[in-house]
């Protein structure tokens, strides 16, 4: 996937990191996931609960009272924007609204001072661990598999996916334009721009809620930033030339070169400077949206997650090898938005996500990395209850749906607390996945609405309690508990 020069840069950066670790032990935690999986909310909840001694009974360092102090510090990378924790928390607590989606890479350093669980270690000094949390847009993840694909492979795969039954309608204008173009014709910039805009419009439509498709590279087409309009973002997949390679200076030859420039300018620096320097990884997965969209979306999510996990560098390196090569030794796959379901369905949600990443997780286990799959809500927006309906005892969730959310003919006002029966996930997760003949069982739709963040309780002393969650403590225990012993 990477060149010798890339590997040399990665080795140099890792050596610098390991040298710094001798004086200030550090854990680099990557928070990844596709768009709208809840990365910003997860980081904000993690930091808030550690800073405010939240209720984390399964996070052993805190449950045993060994954490002495937790505080924010200056991050190590001056060229990377700071994760705006304070702004996100203010929006969650004061406005009771969810933070905006991640638009660029950011970083935050949280330092924990703790008493060792070992009496021998406590005789010398208090332990100290800095946790560098790296956040980046989910769309950027989609680009990592491109590193190992040339323009011909990218084009063939993209065009094949555009013709799938679940995409034909939204990809129609792009495919029609593609059929009118001769890749061997002389390069024409207006044609290249028109084709690129049609491809971008198709990717944007495929990401919509009612479609919930996931395999949408190149990711920067969905979030161009300051590269908008640049040649590196003005290309699209093309059918292969009929006789050998594209003609010199043809449309196909120029778009091929721009695709390679995109990988060089956008994808490889991100992989080299950030992704390849991680110690632990949490991959957040919003499976409910895909389940509601149907088998095509579930299968598409499975492919996207497998492609992403294939880009990780899992395993355990020797002490000497770790000086130059960083390995991700723990990977947590978290099914988010568990608070949208009653706890009776959480095991089924975990089983579905475990099935989604089954192949990739087996590869990670084989290379020596520890992996876990959990159902989680970093911020719990609902509570559970039971109601009687026509003699049936129904498990429901209770919360305040956001203004404009709808179920059936009812539109919510954003102020009224409502009890919702979300429905049941299937007992057999394989029923949601298409077989070789394209057959699958479409699940009964989950009554899926977006809830407002909870209003935090206050103690008799006026102290605001920490953000409620579902299994955030289990996530922290797996990701960093062993480094705080």
pLDDT, tens digit, for every residue of 207-232?
Answer: 776 666 777 889 888 888 778 889 99
Kindly write down the DSSP assignment for every residue of 301-369, as one continuous string. Answer: HHHHHHHHHHHS-BS---TTGGGT---B-EEEEEE--GGGS-GGGHHHHHHHHHHHTHHHHHHHHHTT-
The H or E element spanning position 132 is strand 127-135
Cβ burial, residue 201 (10 Å; 0-12/13-18/19+) = middle
The answer to whether the CB of 337 falls within 8 A of the CB of 377 is yes
Ramachandran area for residue 36 (φ above 0: left; ψ -120 to 50: alpha; else beta):
left
**What fold characterizes domain 4-136+274-380+471-484?**
Rossmann fold (3.40.50)
The answer to whether the CB of 142 falls within 8 A of the CB of 216 is yes
Residue 215's φ and ψ, nearest 5 degrees, are -85, 85
pLDDT reported for residue 319: 44
pLDDT reported for residue 373: 95
Place of tokens 């130059």: 324
Domain residue spans of the chain? 4-136+274-380+471-484, 144-265
Cβ neighbours, 10 Å, residue 214: 27
- Helices 39-51 and 472-480 pack at an angle, to 10 degrees, of 80
Tokens for 106, please give them.
């950011």
In the chain, pLDDT over 70 holds for what percent of residues? 85
Range 439-465 average pLDDT = 71
Q: Identify any residues that bridge with 333 across adjacent strands, giving them in sequence order.
A: 283, 373
The answer to whether the CB of 81 falls within 8 A of the CB of 107 is yes
Tokens for 42, please give them.
């997860």
| Mean pLDDT over the full length of the chain | 85
pLDDT tens-digit map of 258-316: 999 999 999 988 887 877 788 899 999 999 888 888 888 888 888 888 888 877 766 65
Distances (CA, A) of 248 to 242, 255, 256: 14, 11, 11
Residue 31: name the closest of 91, 142, 107 by CA: 107
Q: Which residues contact 156 (CB under 8 A, 6 or more apart)?
A: 237, 240
Residue 195: name the closest of 254, 265, 266 by CA: 254
Cβ burial, residue 2 (10 Å; 0-12/13-18/19+) = middle
Range 393-420 average pLDDT = 90
pLDDT tens-digit map of 100-145: 887 788 999 999 999 986 654 554 557 899 999 988 887 787 888 8
Distances (CA, A) of 5 to 2, 140, 200, 405: 8, 22, 32, 50
């Amino acid at each position: 996937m990477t060149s010798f020069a890339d590997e040399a840069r990665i080795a140099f950066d890792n050596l610098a990191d390991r040298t710094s670790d001798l004086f200030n032990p550090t854990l680099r935690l990557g928070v990844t996931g596709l768009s709208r999986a809840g990365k910003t909310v997860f980081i904000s909840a993690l930091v808030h609960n550690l800073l405010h001694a939240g209720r984390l009974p399964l996070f052993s360092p805190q449950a045993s009272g060994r954490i002495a102090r937790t505080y924010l510090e200056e991050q190590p990378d001056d060229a990377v924007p700071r994760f705006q924790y304070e702004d996100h928390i203010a929006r969650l607590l004061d406005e009771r609204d969810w933070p905006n989606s991640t638009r660029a890479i950011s970083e935050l350093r949280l330092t924990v001072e703790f008493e060792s669980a070992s009496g021998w270690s406590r005789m010398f000094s208090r332990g100290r661990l800095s946790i560098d949390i790296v956040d980046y847009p989910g769309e950027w993840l989609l680009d990592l598999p491109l590193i190992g694909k040339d323009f011909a492979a990218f084009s063939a795969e993209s065009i094949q996916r555009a013709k799938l039954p679940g995409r034909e309608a939204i990809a129609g204008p792009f495919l029609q334009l593609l059929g009118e173009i001769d890749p061997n014709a002389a390069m024409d910039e207006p044609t290249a721009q028109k084709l690129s805009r049609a491809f971008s419009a198709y990717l944007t439509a495929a990401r919509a809620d009612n479609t919930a498709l996931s395999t949408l590279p190149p990711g920067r087409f969905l979030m161009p930033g300051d590269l908008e309009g640049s040649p590196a973002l003005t290309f699209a997949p093309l059918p292969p030339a009929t006789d050998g390679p594209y003609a010199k200076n043809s449309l196909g030859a120029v778009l091929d070169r721009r695709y390679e420039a995109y990988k060089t300018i956008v994808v490889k620096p991100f992989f080299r400077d950030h992704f390849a320097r991680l110690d632990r990884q949490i991959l957040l997965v919003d499976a409910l949206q895909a389940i509601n969209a149907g088998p095509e979306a579930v299968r598409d999510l499975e492919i996207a997650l497998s492609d992403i996990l294939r880009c990780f560098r899992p395993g355990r390196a020797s002490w000497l090898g770790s000086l130059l090569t960083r390995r991700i030794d723990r990977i947590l796959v978290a099914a988010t938005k568990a608070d949208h379901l009653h706890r009776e369905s959480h095991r089924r949600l975990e089983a579905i996500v475990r099935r989604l990443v089954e192949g990739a997780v087996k590869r990670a286990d084989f290379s020596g990395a520890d992996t876990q799959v959990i159902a989680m809500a970093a911020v719990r927006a609902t509570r559970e209850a039971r109601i009687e309906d026509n003699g049936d005892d129904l498990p429901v969730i209770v919360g305040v749906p956001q203004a404009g959310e709808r179920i059936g003919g009812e539109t919510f006002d954003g102020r009224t607390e409502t009890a919702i029966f979300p429905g049941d996930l299937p007992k057999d997760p394989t029923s949601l996945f298409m077989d070789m003949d394209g057959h699958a069982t479409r699940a009964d739709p989950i009554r899926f609405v977006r809830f407002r963040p909870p209003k935090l309780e206050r103690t008799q002393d006026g102290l605001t309690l920490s953000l409620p969650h579902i299994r955030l403590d289990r996530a922290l225990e797996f990701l960093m508990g062993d480094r705080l012993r």
